[in-house]
């Protein structure tokens, strides 16, 4: 079982008696190498990510590290990515086209992040922001909010979900103008509505486009 | 149990003895009303979607139909959306920022779809296309491919997954220039790589940005 220590701890009861190889944050490359090395030595290895391993997770890194033509078989098991988990906590903000952007500039240059955010704003995508703010990494969020505030109405709903679907989950809903940088941290997923997203009874809803009002009287539930 | 008939059939063994309310395709609004009506009458209701109910699924529609201030409690259970499922079948194409766009113009005007696709292309997003082609609905896919072919290299990897993670799953990988419209249908999810996505051993990989080559010799798997 290869993974970031705290993630392995989360599935403690599922991996009793299994050998564990854990390493700290930012040691992803080491973990990928450890997993491939053990698999090439004939071991049955599981690499654990949080959310969906295929979305900013370990799946790609393991495939990148795996030598071309390696006989090791890799099965990727998809999961519930943080955008889906956070959306479920907030209501249904992802009912229409959406873009997922990581604001971490550790691996992606800030100008690329900025260009992507602007493109998502231009396309009126609902926007799910991963890694929105680090302790010393505030600039990407600041620029993102500036782009959004220049192009979307002040009342655009914004949802913040910290530790989605974990014990210490915290959910809040605000608007683009009222969102405060300090309310966002590294463990928060931020979902910004598009021009149609509304707030109702505290929930974010992005209409899919069905003629809900018109059909209400005509509907014949069977 | 409220759902599209074939989806309820997929979970037949899980809902033995439960009352079923099913209706055909394009009767989503009826199902949402039926669910809310039964819940308001005091019944415990589960509405079933495929993939993630919060991504182009029934979650938003149920919330839209629910009268404001209704005492009905709604819990939304997130799932593995088709983009995640398809990505896992293809390798790891969603390891960097991505956009999800439905090409169905039943509920979204074609010019909005076109603008979104162009924005996603401009932002160099990996692109996941839902409902890419209907029997009589070819124009959105045609325009999408034209935008992509005008802006991304001919060799950009494209993955097609039909019935992801179901019994009759079919996966294929091609390139932007070689993709044929006829190979895409309504049940296919299309994933188009960004400018960094590569093909290796038949798998699509979008690098996350780790210095894989440089670190390979320095890595010390623990």
- At residue B216 the predicted structure's pLDDT band, cuts being 50, 70 and 90, is very low
pLDDT band at residue B211 using 50, 70 and 90 as cut-offs = confident
> How many other C-beta atoms lie within 10 A of the C-beta of residue A86?
30
A-chain CB neighbours of B92 within 8 Å are 54, 59-60, 63, 76
Cβ–Cβ gap A80/B76 under 8 Å: no
CB-based contact, B23 to chain A, within 8 Å: yes
- Identify the pLDDT of residue B63: 97
Interface check A208 vs B, CB under 8 A: yes
> From the CA of A212, how many Å to the nearest CA of chain B?
7
* Angle, CA A221 vertex, CA B38 and CA B54 arms, to 5°: 70
Q: What angle do CA B28, B57, A120 make, to 5 degrees?
A: 130
C-alpha distances out from residue A21 to A18, A38, A48, A55, A62, Å = 10, 10, 10, 22, 15
- Average of per-residue pLDDT values in chain A: 93
Are A68 and B200 inside 8 Å of each other by CB?
Answer: yes
- List pLDDT tens digits, range A167-213: 899 999 999 999 999 999 999 999 999 999 999 999 999 999 888 86
Q: Is B184 on the interface with A (CB under 8 A)?
A: no
Tell me which residue in B64, B65, B120 faces A123 most closely, judged by beta carbons.
B120
- Contact list in B for residue A115 (CB cut-off 8 A) is 122-124
Phi (first) and psi of residue A85, to 5 degrees: -65, -45
Q: What is the mean pLDDT of residues B14-22?
A: 94
Strand ranges (E), A131-194: 157-162, 170-175, 188-192
Helix extents (H) in chain B: 5-10, 28-40, 58-65, 82-90, 110-122, 139-151, 212-218
The conformation of residue B186, written as its DSSP 8-state character, comes to T
Q: Does B192 touch chain A (CB under 8 A)?
A: no
Tell me, yes or no, if A24 comes closer than 8 A to chain B by beta carbon: no
B123 touches chain A (CB under 8 A): yes
Q: What pLDDT digit, counting tens, does each position of A42-87 carry?
A: 999 999 999 999 999 999 999 999 999 999 999 999 999 999 999 9
Interchain CB contact of B220 with A (< 8 Å)? yes
Residues A100, B101: C-beta atoms closer than 8 Å: no
Give yes or no for B109 touching A (CB within 8 A).
no
Q: What does the pLDDT read at residue B34?
A: 94
Please, are residues A104 and B75 in contact by the beta-carbon 8 Å criterion? no
Q: A178 vs chain B: nearest CA distance in angstroms?
A: 24
Nearest CA-CA distance, residue A65 and chain B, Å: 7
Give the pLDDT confidence score for residue B213 in this predicted structure.
63
Parallel/antiparallel/unpaired status of strands B126-130 and A170-175: unpaired
For the cut 70, the answer to whether the pLDDT of residue A2 exceeds it is yes
* B81 in A contact zone (CB under 8 Å): yes
Instruction: Round the average pLDDT of chain B to a whole number and report it.
Output: 93
Query: pTM to 2 decimals?
Result: 0.94
Q: Chain A contact for B208, CB < 8 A?
A: yes
Which two structure tokens, joined as six digits, stand for A190? 């931020």
Q: B34 near B44, Cβ under 8 Å?
A: no
Is B59 in CB contact (< 8 Å) with chain A? yes
Is A64 in contact with B116 (Cβ distance < 8 A)?
no
On whether any CB of chain A is under 8 Å from the CB of B79, the answer is yes
The vertex-B18 CA angle with B15 and B3, nearest 5°, equals 70
- Put simply, whether B65 touches A (Cβ < 8 Å) is yes
Beta-carbon separation of B118 and A116 below 8 A = no
C-alpha dihedral over B4, B9, B10, B12, to 10 degrees?
A: 130
**B123–A68 C-beta distance less than 8 A:** no
Residue B169 near residue B89, CB atoms below 8 Å: yes
Residue B100: the pLDDT is 98
CB contact under 8 A, B219 and A29: yes
- Rounded to 10°, the helix A110-122/B110-122 angle is 170
pLDDT in tens, A81-106: 999 999 999 999 999 999 999 999 98
Residues in B touching A127 (Cβ below 8 Å): none
Rounded-to-integer distance, Cα A58 and Cα B81, Å: 18
Whether residues B125 and A34 touch (CB distance < 8 A) is answered with no
Determine contact, residues B134/B162, Cβ cutoff 8 Å. no
B198 bridge partner residues: B205
Checking if the pLDDT of A25 tops 50, the result is: yes
Closest CA–CA distance from residue B177 to any residue of chain A (Å): 24
Angle ∠(A67,A69,A74) on CA atoms, nearest 5: 75
Whether residue B204 is predicted with pLDDT greater than 80 in this model: the reply is yes
Nearest 10 degrees: CA dihedral of B121, B126, B129, B133?
A: 60
Contact A221 B55 (CB under 8 A): no
Q: Are strands A91-92 and A157-162 parallel, antiparallel or unpaired?
A: unpaired
């Amino acid at each position: 079982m290869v993974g970031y220590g705290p993630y392995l701890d989360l599935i403690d009861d599922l991996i009793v008696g299994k050998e564990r190889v854990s390493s700290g944050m930012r040691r992803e490359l080491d973990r990928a190498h450890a997993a491939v090395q053990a698999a090439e030595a004939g071991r049955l290895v599981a690499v654990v990510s949080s959310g969906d391993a295929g979305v900013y997770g370990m799946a790609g890194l393991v495939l990148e590290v795996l030598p071309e033509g390696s006989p090791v078989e890799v099965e990727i098991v998809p999961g519930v990515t943080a955008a889906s988990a956070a959306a479920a906590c907030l209501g249904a903000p992802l009912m229409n086209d959406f873009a997922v952007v990581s604001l971490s500039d550790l691996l992606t240059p800030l100008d690329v992040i900025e260009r992507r955010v602007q493109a998502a704003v231009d396309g009126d995508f609902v926007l799910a922001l991963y890694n929105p703010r680090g302790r010393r990494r505030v600039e990407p969020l600041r620029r993102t909010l500036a782009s959004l505030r220049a192009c979307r109405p002040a009342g655009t709903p914004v949802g913040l979900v910290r530790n989605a679907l974990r014990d210490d989950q915290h959910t809040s809903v605000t608007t683009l103008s009222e969102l405060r940088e300090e309310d966002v941290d590294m463990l928060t997923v931020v979902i910004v509505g598009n021009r149609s997203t509304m707030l109702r009874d505290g929930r974010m809803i992005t209409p899919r486009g069905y003629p809900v009002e018109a059909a209400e009287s005509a509907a014949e539930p069977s």
